[in-house]
Structure 1
Amino acid sequence: MSEILVVDDDRELRDNLREVLSAEGFDVVVAGNGDEALEMVKTRAFDLILLDLVMPGLSGLETLLLLRRQQPQLKVVMVTAFSTIENAVEAMRRGADDYLTKPFKISDLLITVRRVLEEARFKECNAILNMDGTFNSLANAIRRQILLVLKGKGRRRFMEVTRDLGIDDHTKVNFHLKVLKEEGLISQDDQKYYSLSPKGVKVTQCMNIVIDNMAH
């Protein structure tokens, strides 16, 4: 579940955004100003921040710059009135990922939030898949098949894996299993069952995300 921080001095808007986003399955936290937001970010890892551009005290732009110092990879969508669009564009030059213009439709809000979160996942997955060892492991089609078999069927013994792959050459399958183990993508327990490691689970998820994005 993605965690979103809504930062706005308008209490009614904060509450409305929390209600709408929570109904869509997001975990939503609210802050009334930039100082509150900066304190929250110190102790919680948010996936996205919806940040009002014009607020008393720290402005949205000032808050954005301070947030970027704390968490450079944090995704931020600015919320602005039509009259301050130029400032929102400036905020994007300073590191914001997108902006919404008040008043906005719920559909536009959800499209923007989901797109920014998906872009973040795509970039994260590209970084994971492009790690030398991981990339080399996935370059072989049999190794990719093994990961997908373990993802779909869970714990499997060696002979079950060979049958799932439809490969009679046990030496070949054993070699590819060894490569995946050395890269930390799979593990083998005391009962000789193979399964995806936490890293392997993440990599298989990333494979799907990257493929989906390439298809769009």
Structure 2
Amino acid sequence: MHWQDTIRENRPRRSRLDPYKPYLERRFAPGCTSATQLHRELLAEQAPITYQMVRAYVATLRAAPPDAPPPPPTVRKVTGWLTRHPTSLSEEDRAALKDVLARCPELNTAAGHVRGFGEILTGRLGATLPTWIDAVDASQLPGFTGFALHLLRDLDAVIAGLSLEWSSGGAEGAVNRIKKIKRQLYGRAGFELLRKMILLQ
């Protein structure tokens, strides 16, 4: 099983109640099982939910075995833990991520690659990119190896982009603006009007 398969799942349709489910579980565990009371509490917090939503979820909590383990984290949540800066995670998130990584050595290796590239990107450590690419190649993780291969196609330019403070963002933005104006005027104006539109904006 690849590391990608570990976090891949059929994503259920999101519900407005999803952000409030942890709260309902915390209140339900000590004995607050009244859907009316829980719905009233969420309404006091301006939650955009209905009584039927709360009642249906409370019913699933009642039906669950008392010693059932907590549900596994979603793909979106694990991805967020991996891509966010470690200092921005709460203690609960860090503990949950540590538990997930302990269950899958490949995912733990992938997390190390993500953190390493994040440090290169934010710290302008482009000179260390070849070492990172070698580590990725040695791990042979699908997804990462393909990404590293693309970096090798123009390694000098990538290293410069990850090391220097200058950026082509301004030029790219101007080019995209001109393309947008050209699309808007396509078939309706000639070069002179196009030129005026670009100069005026």
Larger Rg: 1 or 2?
A: 2
TM range (shorter): under 0.3
* TM-score of the superposed pair, with normalisation by structure 2: 0.23
Q: Which has the higher contact order (CA 8 A, sep 6+)?
A: 2
Higher helix proportion: 2
